[in-house]
Structure 1
């Protein structure tokens, strides 16, 4: 049934405002190279995939999104993730910024699905995630015409250009931001840049304490911003979407807590993640225990939730929101951070002998590629 035929007026109104976001489009310009700005560390080693915490803020933090705009950003984010071949572990869309925890597979391994005699047809079918039937049909005609003229090399160039857009963190984030910007500016009748600078990214070890900690940090953003007392009540985060029954969101958080991909209920991944959130999100008080220095979940509420999930082992308590989660460049075990440093050795000065820097502000054996000397905790 079409949205315009529903009997829910509020839903109809929402869908009417999101027509431009839901519509499939014509070709999108290829991502341009970037010659300056912050270092971007990407995985080049033997791992099947790498995870990244991505952050971006509106210009000056002064543009704020309403509920419809957050919904639009969420839909674009999921559709482009499907198209680009990346996976969302979790996310949080705030009023003037967003956080994504993204898993990016190795391109050569991911592209195997388009190999063989039927590979090209599967590739063209994949384009329908983002593009209209009309565009895909015109592309088929173009490829057929080139082959009729004996220009197979041109055909392969076109197919190669399409494949370059897959499994690339920068292209994924760039397209999300630019597509959303065009829709947002049209909706608001504004012009000009929407996002402030280039997005930030921190590489996170794909499993274990680092990934759990980062996922919880992202889903706890609305709690620490005093928007809600429980992250389940904030609609635009991965945890709330998972609780609503979304299998795609549940699968991401299953990865965060090292459970089978469909273990949200069968392997108690949902309970485990909730315990992690309430153990990690406890508010921080001053030395006199009188005032709240860092908003979060009350100790009483955390104890209540953990008691209700008594069959689970409480996650390690990481009470502080630290800058390493947004500025650390790479986060994980000592061995993981050191291996990434060696893979990207050319990005660092000749005096740098090793990469791993222990995070003294956190409990546990977490290391970063960058030591923050000023305001490490904020």
Structure 2
């Protein structure tokens, strides 16, 4: 059985990160962040992509997105997002050349076990980087929209796993805040981070076995356990 290359599965969430070329700054001013989020919002339906979470850091972008039956939509979305940002910055700075690394990283995520954990991992990036004390203080992530603190939240998608957070929208918002405030285990961080870095799967052993059968791939490194969801 061949070793694993990039795996893209229809209707599964994918944790995606695209970094600046040589880790250069890609978001230098508020307009840079605003344009990228606007492009993501505009293009998601064109390419049949659901968007569950995002966080734009100075030199990279984290997304949690799911392609439809046409899995090519994910690669097309990332290509157009990168191209638009590159053209804008090159025009602005009177330069030429690439802005991003040529290849983005991605990891297929097990929805019912790790989707919420990946949302938390993505939206807590600025907190882990000591840029803000609270996720709510960072304007360039999906957190405020996810908890109803932003009026511009209607374009984010809702997976059925969000239903476990409550019976009403308000209840889900409040319990998501609680979920975000919980301590995150070292094992959960390690599982999500390593799966992304290695282009592997974020999920339980059973999930990995299922994907191996579906895609005909072999997974060498496996995460253990499942994230805590007390909310």
Q: Distance in 1 between matches of 2:207 and 2:74?
A: 19
Whether 2:134 is the aligned partner of 1:224: answer no
CA contact (8 A) 2:41 2:155 kept: no
> Cα–Cα, structure 1 residues 255 and 190, in superposed 2: closer, same or farther, change >3 Å?
farther
1:168 deviates by: 1.7
CA contact (8 A) 1:280 1:319 kept: no
1:206 aligns with one of 89, 111, 128: 111
Report which structure shows greater RCO (CA 8 Å, sep ≥6): 2
Q: Could you tell me which residue of structure 1 aligns to residue 59 of structure 2?
A: 96
Whether 2:73 is the aligned partner of 1:168: answer yes
> Cα–Cα, structure 1 residues 205 and 195, in superposed 2: closer, same or farther, change >3 Å?
same
Q: Distance in 2 between matches of 1:261 and 1:247?
A: 18
Q: Could you tell me which residue of structure 1 aligns to residue 177 of structure 2?
A: 274
Q: Distance in 1 between matches of 2:168 and 2:37?
A: 24
Q: Distance in 2 between matches of 1:106 and 1:262?
A: 29
2:6 aligns with one of 18, 40, 57: 40
Whether 2:194 is the aligned partner of 1:324: answer yes
Whether 2:143 is the aligned partner of 1:239: answer yes
Q: Distance in 1 between matches of 2:37 and 2:210?
A: 33
1:88 deviates by: 0.5
What do the CA deviations read for 1:249-281 (whole angstroms, capped 9, x no partner)?
6644x655345999432xx11112111111145
Q: Could you tell me which residue of structure 2 aligns to residue 9 of structure 1?
A: none
Whether 2:12 is the aligned partner of 1:50: answer yes
> Cα–Cα, structure 1 residues 96 and 240, in superposed 2: closer, same or farther, change >3 Å?
same
CA contact (8 A) 2:114 2:226 kept: no
Q: What SS does structure 2 have at the residue aligned with 1:89?
A: strand
Q: Distance in 2 between matches of 1:255 and 1:236?
A: 25
What do the CA deviations read for 1:90-126 (whole angstroms, capped 9, x no partner)?
100011100000022224xxxxxxxxxxxxxxxxxxx
Q: Could you tell me which residue of structure 1 aligns to residue 42 of structure 2?
A: 79
Q: TM-score, normalised by structure 1?
A: 0.52
CA contact (8 A) 2:166 2:172 kept: no
What do the CA deviations read for 1:42-90 (whole angstroms, capped 9, x no partner)?
226xxxx111001011011122412110111111111111221211001
Whether 2:119 is the aligned partner of 1:215: answer yes
Q: Where does 1:1-378 land on structure 2 (aligned, <5 Å)?
A: 39-43=5-9, 49-65=11-27, 66-107=29-70, 168-207=73-112, 209-242=113-146, 243-248=149-154, 251-252=157-158, 255=160, 257-259=162-164, 263-265=168-170, 268-281=171-184, 317=185, 321-322=189-190, 323-328=193-198, 329-345=200-216, 347-348=217-218, 355=219, 357-360=221-224, 364-365=225-226
> Cα–Cα, structure 1 residues 71 and 221, in superposed 2: closer, same or farther, change >3 Å?
same
Q: Could you tell me which residue of structure 2 aligns to residue 287 of structure 1?
A: none
1:335 deviates by: 2.2
Q: Could you tell me which residue of structure 2 aligns to residue 128 of structure 1?
A: none
CA contact (8 A) 2:50 2:67 kept: yes
What do the CA deviations read for 1:182-226 (whole angstroms, capped 9, x no partner)?
11211222210110130000000122x311111100000010111
- In structure 1, runs of 5+ residues without a counterpart are 1-37, 108-165, 282-316, 349-354, 367-378
CA contact (8 A) 1:250 1:262 kept: no
Q: What SS does structure 2 have at the residue aligned with 1:331?
A: coil
Q: Which has the larger radius of gyration?
A: 1
> Cα–Cα, structure 1 residues 224 and 256, in superposed 2: closer, same or farther, change >3 Å?
farther
Q: Distance in 2 between matches of 1:318 and 1:264?
A: 30
CA contact (8 A) 2:13 2:111 kept: yes
